[in-house]
């Protein structure tokens, strides 16, 4: 197709989207404009439009980065709509637990990945972490993902053989499988340490919501904390997966 028949503003917008999305931590307006060889005013109007549609977002440091709509577009299908709703629901969830770090995760072809993250150091700001993956046998979130996605156990074993990655932590495959059964029965995984506790809740479609809480009080009550999380997770599920989609 001849270049004159192309929509130049759309081409410039897509170029800015590529530039900003290539950097996990985002770029400033000046950096993007320089890379695209555009005036800052032109770049800003294009970036503002991309942010309005959710393909980019501007964080508290005035850096433009991947937005939820782009994440959903890449994910595709039914999970795309769920991911967009999860982004909004995660921000509401953090309002109830402002000191907690939250991760919305998924098992993709045997690899545990963070799709969305929100933490106290950047309140209300979603972090697009789709390329961040983590070991499958250690954290509560990884364990809950394995429990929620038994159909992917063979894929996990191919990439992370239990003898190499899990045996030193669990002693035997039987012990590990028993732990997964417990997680499935309860619907969540919980770990408590001296200064920190973490929980991971199984969600529809194989997703898992992980919550990490820094303990700063001797009066911390694990049972009460779990119940508060459980109630909040139920509201989260209703927001992300309407009854007609479950």
Give the per-residue pLDDT at 213.
Answer: 87
Nearest to 127 by CA among 140, 114, 139: 114
Same domain, 24 and 143: no
Query: Residue 231 maps to which CATH number?
Result: 3.30.450.40
Residues 91 and 62 in one domain: no
The ranges of the chain with pLDDT < 70 are 1-4, 71-80, 129-131, 215-218, 244-246
Domain termination residue (choose one: 66, 82, 111): 66
Pair type for strands 188-192 and 127-134:
unpaired
Cβ pair 226, 100 in contact under 8 A: no
Considering the domain architecture, whether residues 61 and 104 belong to the same structural domain is answered as: no
The token pair at 67 is 């937005």
Nearest Cα neighbor of 83 from 95, 71, 96 is 71
Q: Please give the pLDDT value at position 219.
A: 72
Distance CA 18, CA 21 (A): 5
- Are residues 55 and 73 located together in one domain of the fold? no
pLDDT at 137: 95
Beta bridge partners, 64, equal 27, 58
Per-residue tokens: 38 = 């555009």
Number of domains in the chain: 2
**57 DSSP β-pair partners:** 65
User: What is the tens place of the pLDDT at every residue in 202-237?
Assistant: 999 999 999 998 866 667 788 899 999 999 999 999
48, 66, 84 - which closes a domain: 66
CATH code assigned at 62? 1.10.10.10
The confidence score (pLDDT) of residue 214 equals 82
**Euclidean distance between CA atoms 182 and 78, whole angstroms:** 29
Q: Do residues 31 and 90 share a domain?
A: no
Asked whether residue 130 falls in the same domain as residue 225, the answer is yes
Residues 59 and 74 in one domain: no
* Number of other CB atoms surrounding residue 60 within 10 Å: 10
Statement to judge: residues 185 and 209 lie in one domain: yes
3-state helix, strand, coil split of the chain in percent (to 5) is: 55, 20, 25
Question: Within 13 Å and on the Cβ side, how many CA atoms surround 50?
Answer: 29
Q: What would the pLDDT profile of 72-95 be if each residue is shown by its tens digit?
A: 666 554 566 778 788 889 989 999
Residue 1, pLDDT score: 45
Supply the pTM of this predicted model: 0.74
- Backbone torsions φ then ψ of 139, nearest 5 degrees: -75, 160
Same domain assignment for residues 142 and 126: yes
Tell me which residue range forms the domain holding 23.
3-66
Domain end call among 46, 66, 86: 66
How buried is residue 172: exposed, middle or buried, by Cβ count under 10 Å (0-12/13-18/19+)? exposed
Residues 194 and 93 in one domain: yes
Same-domain status, 40 and 82: no
Place of tokens 């299908």: 77
Same domain, 53 and 129: no
């Amino acid at each position: 197709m001849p270049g004159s028949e192309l929509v130049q503003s759309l081409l410039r917008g897509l170029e800015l989207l590529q530039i900003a999305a290539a950097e996990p931590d985002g770029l400033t307006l000046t950096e993007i404009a320089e890379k695209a060889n555009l005036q800052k005013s032109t770049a800003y109007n294009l970036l503002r439009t991309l942010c309005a549609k959710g393909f980019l977002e501007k964080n508290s440091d005035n850096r433009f980065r991947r937005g939820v709509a782009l994440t959903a577009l890449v994910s595709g299908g039914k999970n795309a709509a769920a991911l967009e709703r999860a982004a909004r629901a995660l921000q509401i969830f953090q309002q109830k637990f402002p000191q907690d770090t939250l991760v919305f995760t998924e098992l993709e072809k045997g690899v545990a990945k963070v799709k969305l993250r929100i933490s106290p150091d950047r309140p209300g700001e979603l972090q697009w972490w789709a390329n961040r993956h983590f070991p499958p046998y250690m954290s509560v979130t990884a364990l809950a993902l394995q429990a929620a996605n038994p159909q992917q156990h063979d894929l996990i074993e191919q990439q992370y053989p239990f003898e190499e990655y899990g045996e030193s932590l669990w002693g035997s495959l039987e012990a590990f499988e028993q732990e997964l059964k417990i997680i499935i029965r309860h619907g969540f995984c919980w770990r408590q340490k001296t200064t920190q506790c973490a929980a991971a809740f199984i969600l529809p479609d194989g997703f898992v919501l992980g919550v990490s809480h820094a303990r700063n009080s001797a009066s911390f009550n694990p049972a009460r904390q779990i119940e508060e999380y459980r109630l909040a997770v139920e509201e989260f599920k209703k927001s992300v997966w309407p009854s007609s989609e479950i």
